[in-house]
Amino acid sequence: MRIIFVLVFALGIGNVTAQEKNVFDRDTIAPSDEEYLKYSCESGKKQAALDFKNGEYNCFSYGLMRKEDFDFERFYSAYLHKKYKIVNRNMGCVVTDYDMCYSDIMTKLVKEKFGKDIFKKSREEAKKVYKKK
């Protein structure tokens, strides 16, 4: 008798739940065209150009970084920002089209402004200053 009651109860609950609006329907979670365009590659390119024009040089990297000397890396990031106003930061492993396009355009613009070897040159400069401290 208990088994029959459990089965009837379970089937009844399942039936009621199935009739409720499914909050995971594609229409309810699909981004609108505006939302999609906001995070598109084209949007990332435009934002990078705008940030660069406003003097914001955000050169982000993505993925797992292997760093042997964390103290120097922190010093280098601070040096790069102080001397060149370049923000150098690792943003983690999750990368979107927006992020990649932003990063590509920003890096290209920064290299045009400061020279193709800006990151190598600034790292060497920072190493010399760091050793003195």
Strand partners, 121: none
Banded pLDDT at 5 (limits 50, 70, 90): very low
Number of domains in the chain: 1
Distances in whole angstroms, Cα of residue 79 to Cα of each of 74, 88, 127? 9, 10, 10
Q: The tokens 């990368």 sit on which residue?
A: 95
Strand partners, 90: 61
Residues 73-82 pLDDT 10s: 999 999 999 9
**58 lies in which domain range?**
2-132
The residue ranges of DSSP E strands in 20-132, in sequence order, are 57-61, 86-90
Amino acid identity of residue 8, one-letter, is V
State residue 113's pLDDT score.
98
The token pair that represents 57 in the structure block: 């040089």
The residue ranges of DSSP E strands in the chain, in sequence order, are 57-61, 86-90
CA angle, corner 98, sides to 96 and 99, nearest 5?
65
Residue 25 has pLDDT above 70, yes or no: no
State residue 28's pLDDT score.
56
Residues 39-70 pLDDT 10s: 899 999 999 999 999 999 999 999 887 778 88
State residue 67's pLDDT score.
74
